[in-house]
Structure formats: structure tokens, C-alpha cells
Amino acid sequence: MPTDENADNEAQQNAGPPYQTAKGVHDILPKDHDYYTFIKKVVRHRCRQAGFRRISTPVFEYTDVFRRSIGDTSDIVSKEMYTFEDRKGRSLTLRPEGTAGVVRSYIQNGMNSWPQPVELYYIENFFRYDRPQKGRYRQFWQFGFEVIGESDPALDAQVIYLSNKILDDLGIAQLFTLQLNSIGSSEDRQNFAQALKDFYFGKERSLCANCKQRLDKNPLRLLDCKEEDCRILAQIAPKMSDHLSEESKEYHEELKEYLGELGIEYHENPSLVRGLDYYTKTVFEFWDKTDGAQNAIGGGGRYDGLIELMGGQPTPACGFAAGIERIIANMKREKIRVPQKDDLHVFVAQLGKEAKKKCLPLIVDLRDNGIRTMGALGKGAIKTQLRLADKFKVPYTIIIGITEVRENAAIVRDMRVGTQKTVPFDKVVDEIIKRIGEENRDMYSPGEAIY
Ligand code: AMP
């Protein structure tokens, strides 16, 4: 009997070339990289402005890091992790989300002795054995940030503000509503979980198979089930807001005041619980205005108990993460274009060995001057090379033939209008800089090292 996965592979292979991407993953082709580059730039810029520093944790961790933090009853741990044994039989898992690794790192690296709160951000790829569909992949990218070490509704408000600001910079904030809820402290949640169990007692038959299973271990998840019957019941189920302690209520009210001060609109959503076990108090998500939770672009919240749960000192924290593939899909939907940093400025065409000898140092010189240059160094006829230049959509082509070698010059051709002029060889670079504009040069500037 073939396994499911073998059957998938067979189906794929029958449909096309023998080797294809594995199910649920995809190549990022050059055109899409322009989006990834742009998004990363915006995230880096806004996070830096807000005092966050970048962290990268390993692609895989010991499985317990995720099991302990995300929780055995979560969908991620129970169904979606890529877990394998290494050669010594240790159980490892490809990271399905960012917070667990960052928290592990905070504890392991003694970050509690750093000035608090520690503000970290990441831009990484993650892995979940999700059912592949539009906007849902088995390898995907997220950016996210965490504020660890302090608890104050003003910090939650800032995390929400920063999330919203980035979506705004990317031109898509208006497509989403901010859904906000408080799931209280862990005692509040225990009380509420009991109230939910009491409510659902005797109604099990109306629940979907998933919820029947979740009722015992994680009844809060029943509130955000997408199945019709479960949704109807969830609407009349007890509300978290009725089970919040005074302290949790005050915290939430204060957060809403700060959001008001920051001019951030939100929608109070008593059913919002988020999929992961570690949240406390504030939870929030950005939902697509047209199809709601199905296409949430990102979410986050406070997780005051997690660091202690993972073996650290009791330390409050909150964070956010958003999916980059979904952001790109929305930017495309809005027809938002991003700078195409890879577009070539110049194509160099040549004819004959002597011309080639002049071309090689010229190409180096052009590139060193920040001009993105492609050279046709094969043996094609000038006409063929010009056709190629057209295909690359370069604005300018430099042509060096036998005459130009003899006259120590080069032809600079404007490909868009078809005009050309002969320029002394040692003036070619200046001529191109003048034409593309000083500000469009692609100069490498690593910044100055401090010794
Ligand atoms: P989560 O940690 O599950 O709330 O995910 C945060 C965000 O990451 C989601 O709102 C999505 O934008 C994105 N995301 C989560 N899972 C996937 C996936 N399988 N494929 C693509 N994006 C995902």
C-alpha cells in the first residue's frame, strides 16, 4: 500500500517533471523576492526605530521546547509539527512558530540580566504540517517581535501599534480589522474553562469531531471553531469577560484607553482565544475584512506565564507575528508595487576578441560605480545580442565593435527610443551615470566599522 505522501508524489510526478517541490512548499522566484526584500526592509526599519534588536534562533529545536511552550492540546503540537530523530535518537522539531525559540534563548542566554524589557524581533521561515491551500503552506515566512520583562498595558498597546504601523507602511492596514480580547490570568482561564465544560455538558452531540476532543483538555478552543454548529453554540456560551478578575478587567480597560490615545480602532471579540496555550490577558489578531479569521494576517498577545513554564524566573512578556506570504498576496491584491532593485541598467554588447578584451574591464568598472550591468560575452552576432538586451528590458546598451576598438570609443544606445551616440571610451561610465541619474546608482555601503 502506498502511503499518503507516496500517493501525493506519484500524482504530482504524473502531472509534470519528475522532480517537483514537496507538497505544500514553493520556490520564491525573483519577482516575489522583491516583495520579501521590501517587507523585510520595512520591518527592520520600524523595529529599529522602536528599539527592537534582531534575533535568529535555530531552524530546529529539541521537540520539548515546542511541546512545553505551545502545549500538547494545541493544533500545532498535536498535528502540525515536523518532528524527527537525529542519529543519536534525540527528538528534534522544525520550528513551527517564533516565540518558543525566543523564550528558550532568553532563558539560556541570561537575558534577564539585560536592561528590561528586552525587545527582540525576527524574520524567519517556519514549518507546519498544515493542509495546503491558498495562504496556507508547509514552509512559510513570518516576522514577529517580543517584548520580554515587563507587564503594562502600555507595552501591549505599543506592540499593537507597531504591528499596525508595519501593515500601514505596506499599504494593507485598511484591509484588516483589529480583533481584541482578554483571556485573563491563568486562574481566570481555569474558572472560565470549567464554566465552558458545564455549559457544553450534554451538548456534545452538536459539536464537530475536533471540538468533542478539545472539550476536555482545551475548552476555550471551542469558541473559535469555524464549523457552523459549533459557532452557533459558541455565541450563546459563557463569555470570558464575565470570568475576568478585577485586575484583568482593569488591565484590559487601560489597554483600550491607550489604543484610543494612539488612534487605533479595534473590534472587541469575546470569542478570540488564539490557537496557542501560552497566552494570558491580551490577545489580538488582524482579520481580513472580507473573510475574517480564515485569512488572519497575524496575531499576538501577552504570555506572562511562559518564561516560568520554560524554567526561567517568572517574567511577563508579549509579542506579535504576521505571515509574509499572506501579506504579499494582499499587497498584490491591492496592486501595490515594490521597488525592483534587481532591474539592470546596462547591457554590454561586443563583437570580436579585441572588443571583448575592452569589455571585461569596462563591465567591472560599471559595476563598481553602482551600475547594474550584464555583459553578452558569448559569440553571438550584434543583432542577436541587441535582441537579448531588449528581452532584459535594459534602458541602455553599450556596443563595442571593431570600429569602436580602433577609435577607442563605445556606442551608447538608448533602447527605449532607439537613438545612439559614440562616446570616448574613458567617458562611458560617466555618461551612463548621467543618464541613469546619480541617485539610482546601486552603491554598496556597509557603513563604517567601529574599532
Ligand atoms: P499563528 O502563529 O498561527 O497565529 O500565525 C501567525 C500568522 O502566520 C498567520 O496569521 C498567518 O499570516 C501566518 N501563517 C500561519 N500559518 C501559516 C501557514 N501554514 N502558511 C502561511 N502562513 C501562515
pLDDT tens digits for the chain (451 residues)? 344 454 555 555 567 899 999 999 999 999 899 999 999 999 999 999 999 999 999 999 999 999 999 988 888 998 999 999 999 999 999 999 999 999 999 999 999 999 999 999 999 999 999 999 988 999 999 999 999 999 999 999 999 999 999 999 999 999 999 999 999 998 898 899 899 999 999 998 889 988 888 888 888 888 878 788 898 998 899 988 889 999 999 999 999 999 999 999 999 998 888 867 788 999 999 999 988 777 899 999 999 999 999 999 999 999 999 999 999 999 999 999 998 878 899 999 999 889 999 999 999 999 999 999 999 887 788 889 989 999 999 999 999 999 999 999 999 999 999 999 999 999 999 999 999 999 889 887 766 676 6
- Closest C-alpha to ligand 1, atom 17: 136
- Closest C-alpha to ligand 1, atom 5: 298
Amino acid identity of residue 206, one-letter, is S
What is the SS3 assignment for 126? strand
pTM > 0.75: yes
Domain boundaries, the chain: 4-185+245-333, 346-440
Residue 60 CA to ligand 1 center (angstroms) comes to 18
Please indicate whether residue 321, judged by its CB atom, sits closer than 6 Å to ligand 1: yes
For residue 10, the model assigns a pLDDT of 52
For residue 379, the model assigns a pLDDT of 74
What is the SS3 assignment for 284? strand
Distance CA 160, CA 298 (A): 11
Please indicate whether residue 119, judged by its CB atom, sits closer than 6 Å to ligand 1: no
Please indicate whether residue 297, judged by its CB atom, sits closer than 6 Å to ligand 1: yes
Alpha-carbon Rg for the chain in angstroms: 28
The residue behind cell 527605449 is 416
Residue 298 CA to ligand 1 center (angstroms) comes to 7
Query: Among residues 284, 285, 270, 278, which one has the least CA distance to residue 304?
Result: 278
What are the grid coordinates assigned to 183, written together? 483571556
Please indicate whether residue 140, judged by its CB atom, sits closer than 6 Å to ligand 1: yes
Query: Among residues 183, 445, 194, which one has the least CA distance to residue 301?
Result: 183
For residue 2, the model assigns a pLDDT of 41
346-440 CATH choice from 3.30.530.20, 1.10.10.10, 3.40.50.800, 3.40.50.720: 3.40.50.800
Report the CATH number of the 4-185+245-333 domain. Answer: 3.30.930.10
For residue 291, the model assigns a pLDDT of 82
Query: Among residues 361, 347, 372, which one has the least CA distance to residue 425?
Result: 361
Query: Which CA distances in Å does 92 have to 36, 67, 78, 88, 217?
Result: 28, 11, 15, 11, 25
Pinpoint the alpha helices (H) of 50-112.
Answer: 63-70, 75, 99-108
Residue 67 CA to ligand 1 center (angstroms) comes to 18
**Alpha-carbon dihedral of residues 262, 186, 318, 174, nearest 10 degrees?**
-50
> For ligand 1, what atom is nearest to the CA of residue 324?
12
What end-to-end distance do the CA atoms of the chain give, in Å? 64
Residue 322 CA to ligand 1 center (angstroms) comes to 7
For residue 396, the model assigns a pLDDT of 96
For residue 33, the model assigns a pLDDT of 93
Distance CA 298, CA 301 (A): 11
Residue 357 CA to ligand 1 center (angstroms) comes to 53
Please indicate whether residue 298, judged by its CB atom, sits closer than 6 Å to ligand 1: yes
Please indicate whether residue 130, judged by its CB atom, sits closer than 6 Å to ligand 1: yes
- Closest C-alpha to ligand 1, atom 11: 323
For residue 68, the model assigns a pLDDT of 94
For residue 1, the model assigns a pLDDT of 38
Please indicate whether residue 275, judged by its CB atom, sits closer than 6 Å to ligand 1: yes
CB 351 within 8 A of CB 400: yes
Helix axes 30-49, 153-169, angle to 10 degrees: 150
Query: Which CA distances in Å does 207 have to 165, 201, 274, 366?
Result: 39, 11, 19, 68
